[in-house]
Amino acid sequence: MLEAFLSSTVAMAAPLLLAALGELLVEDSGVINIGIEGVMLTGAFAAMAAAYATGSVAAGLGCAALAALAMSALFGAMAVNLAVNQVVAGTALDIFALGVTGVFYRRMFGVTGQALTVRTLRQVRLGPLSHLPLIGPALFHQNLLVYFSFLIVPAVWLALYRTRWGLNLRAAGERPEAADALGLGVYGLRWQALMISGVLTGLSGAYLTLGYANTFVEGMSAGRGFIALAIVILGEWRPGRIAIASVLFGAALALQFVLQAVNTGIPYQLFLALPYVLTLVVLTALGGQSHAPSALGEPYVRP
Instruction: Tell me whether residue 65 is in a domain.
Output: yes
Instruction: Tell me whether residue 291 is in a domain.
Output: no
Instruction: Tell me whether residue 303 is in a domain.
Output: no
What does the buried/exposed string (b/e) look like for 116-155 if buried means 16 or more CB atoms within 10 Å of the residue's CB? bebbbbeeeeeeeebeeeeebbbbbbbbebbebbbebbee
- Alpha-carbon distance of 51 to 63, in angstroms, equals 9
Lowest mean pLDDT among 29-33, 242-246, 248-252: 248-252
Instruction: Tell me whether residue 158 is in a domain.
Output: yes
Report for 35-44, 50-59, 264-273: range of highest mean pLDDT: 35-44
- Torsion, Cα 11 139 147 58, to 10 degrees, reads -60
216 compared with 134, residue with greater pLDDT = 216
Lowest mean pLDDT among 35-44, 116-125, 271-280: 271-280
pLDDT band at 57 (very low <50, low <70, confident <90, very high): very high
Which pTM was predicted?
0.93
Domain harbouring 45, CATH code: 1.10.3470.10
Instruction: Tell me whether residue 32 is in a domain.
Output: yes
- Alpha-carbon distance of 176 to 210, in angstroms, equals 39
> What is the number of structural domains in the chain?
1
Instruction: Tell me whether residue 185 is in a domain.
Output: yes
Q: Which domain holds residue 19?
A: 2-125+135-286
Share of the chain above pLDDT 70, in %: 94
pLDDT mean across residues, the chain = 90
CB within 8 Å of 240: residues ≥ 6 apart: 153, 157
Q: Compute the average pLDDT of residues 195-217.
A: 94
pLDDT at 148: 97
Q: Where are the beta strands (DSSP E) in the chain?
A: 123-125, 141-143
Instruction: Tell me whether residue 111 is in a domain.
Output: yes
Q: What type of residue sits at position 86?
A: Q
Instruction: Tell me whether residue 236 is in a domain.
Output: yes
pLDDT at 260: 67
pLDDT tens, 80-138? 999 999 999 999 999 999 999 999 998 888 765 556 788 889 899 988 888 888 888 88
Cβ-based neighbour number of residue 192 at 10 Å: 19
- Alpha-carbon distance of 193 to 72, in angstroms, equals 10
